[in-house]
Structure 1
């Protein structure tokens, strides 16, 4: 997930591994891409791909248009803002999770990293079934922000660190 990206990206090394039938749907277009550092490069085409997030029954499938990029990257693809909006994805980087709406309820995908990792590596995603997601009813609490107005309360997450609660 890359909320800073305006398009979906598939890196050339991943595109080359796709089924020949899928690769044949490639459209030769040139798109100017500007990276975080301001470096400019051109795409080498675009390809529509059907993407599924989650596991049945809490899954969602959409066809997204990916820009093919010739660049070294530890990633295979990036889903940008367009995908996030089209698929209704909400990202929580602090929790390493995404949530999204499905016909059967809200799906959740958690990011799982390797313990003791010193360098950032691509993470693999696991879908957690609805039965294994803890009930979140007791994860919020109401606090008074201004003692002059005790009836005006703010709802915050219980997991918020104490020093943040104190600052509020």
Structure 2
């Protein structure tokens, strides 16, 4: 894979990028291609200037297992538009994604799982610290962000 590689990239760090929910910038989006679900944390969702509670679908279908050291019941599911924007700002892709809303303090604000990566046509490379994705204008790249403080959730 050719292209930019962050100088700071350490594959032991969490794979964080910046994304957009309803056109609002979201830092600390964690890429986890081992996860079956997408997660947005209630403390962060409450900070967004959107009326997310009117989109909340309840009840949840089940527990999130293996998510932390214990099982967690999500508050519900919320369907929101999520956008990836290339590192140069020239290309983007938006898909409406289902997020499990979780009341849990994490080091990231959103977790994107396998299904979101598939829907966004995104391919993460932990070797390179980048994500490639396809748009109608061609392929694009996002560079992983350097973690500032690993347990400083916004």
- TM-score w.r.t. length of structure 2: 0.69
CA–CA separation in structure 2 for the residues paired with 1:14 and 1:37: 18
Change (3 A) 1:66 1:59: same
- How far does residue 23 in structure 1 lie from its aligned partner after superposition? 2.8
Larger radius of gyration: 1
Match of 1:91 in 2: 124
Residue 12 of structure 1, CA deviation? 1.2
Aligned equivalent of 2:47: 17
Question: Where has structure 1 moved over 6 Å in runs of 4 or more?
Answer: none
Q: Structure 1 residue 34 and structure 2 residue 65: aligned?
A: yes
Tell me the distance in 1 between the aligned counterparts of 2:111 and 2:41.
Answer: 9
Q: Which structure has the highest helix share of the two?
A: 1
d(CA) in 2 for partners of 1:66, 1:41: 14
Q: Is there any run of 5+ residues in structure 2 with no aligned partner, and where?
A: 1-30
Give the root-mean-square deviation of aligned CA atoms. Answer: 2.1
In 1, the alpha carbon distance for the partners of 2:67 and 2:78 equals 23
Q: CA deviation at 1:96?
A: 1.0
Native 8 Å contact 1:33 1:41 kept in 2: yes
Residues 76/106 of structure 1: CA separation in 2 closer, same or farther (3 Å cut) = same
Preserved contact between residue 53 and residue 59 of structure 1 (Cα < 8 Å)? yes
Shift of residue 36 of structure 1?
A: 5.0
Q: Relative contact order: is structure 1 or structure 2 higher (C-alpha 8 Å, sep ≥ 6)?
A: 2
Q: Which moved more, 1:69-78 or 1:53-62?
A: 53-62
Query: Contact (CA 8 Å) 1:57, 1:104: kept in 2 or not?
Result: no
Over 3 Å counting, the alpha-carbon distance change for 1:121 and 1:93 in structure 2 is farther
Tell me the secondary structure at the aligned position of residue 75 of structure 1: coil
Q: Is the Cα–Cα contact under 8 Å of residues 15 and 23 in structure 1 kept in the other structure?
A: no
Mark the runs of 5 or more structure 1 residues left unpaired by the alignment: 123-168
